[in-house]
Amino acid sequence: MRKSLFKAGYIALSFTVVAVLAAGCQPDGGKGTAAAPSSGASAGSPSAAAPSATPAGPTNSKEVCAAVLDVFLDGSVKIADDSVKAIEKGLNQAAQAKQIRTTLASLAEQLEVQAEKANDPEIKSLIEKMVARLESGAKSSDPVKFLETDLVQVGTMIDEDCAV
């Protein structure tokens, strides 16, 4: 009986996480500034210094934030899909936790790529904070709890601070 309650709760959690994240991460058409599209290739040099200056010229924040949102939603859907498949296959809690940790680590790696592309220091810093949280979740002893708390907070960070 306890095992079936765990399965039901895990399925509900998976679908809830995806639904909340998808609803909370929708682009806000009226929010943000209108920037002219850049016709030339951005040739920003990688900076090792702390982000302190506003970048000269147009930023690629809109494109980077859109990519961050796509990566995050794809990762959230994968977590939900994997959770359902794990239950169908009868995987134990440890195997399910390992699967979640692997997906969180992959998600962190994909967001790190987006952080590298960002030429706006504030957006880069924001994405790096998301990466740090996801890496923490990938190392967590209780990744399900991470899904319930920190993963939702990462989605909120995208929605509020990296709006596209």
What whole-number distance in Å separates Cα of residue 89 and Cα of residue 81?
Answer: 12
Please report which confidence band the pLDDT of residue 32 belongs to, taking 50, 70 and 90 as the band edges: very low
Query: What local confidence, expressed as pLDDT, does residue 40 receive?
Result: 40
DSSP characters over 35-52: -PPP-SPP-PPP--S-S-
What whole-number distance in Å separates Cα of residue 122 and Cα of residue 4?
Answer: 45
Contacts of 125 (CB under 8 A, 6+ apart): 51
Tokens of 79: 């977590």
pLDDT tens, position by position, 141-160: 999 899 988 898 999 999 89
Residue 19 has pLDDT above 50, yes or no: no
Please report which confidence band the pLDDT of residue 164 belongs to, taking 50, 70 and 90 as the band edges: low
Query: What local confidence, expressed as pLDDT, does residue 79 receive?
Result: 92
What whole-number distance in Å separates Cα of residue 64 and Cα of residue 113?
Answer: 10
Query: What local confidence, expressed as pLDDT, does residue 58 receive?
Result: 77
Residue 27 has pLDDT above 80, yes or no: no
Please report which confidence band the pLDDT of residue 163 belongs to, taking 50, 70 and 90 as the band edges: low
What whole-number distance in Å separates Cα of residue 116 and Cα of residue 46?
Answer: 8
Please report which confidence band the pLDDT of residue 53 belongs to, taking 50, 70 and 90 as the band edges: very low
Query: What local confidence, expressed as pLDDT, does residue 104 receive?
Result: 95
pTM over 0.75: no
Query: What local confidence, expressed as pLDDT, does residue 43 receive?
Result: 40
37 or 156: which carries more pLDDT confidence?
A: 156
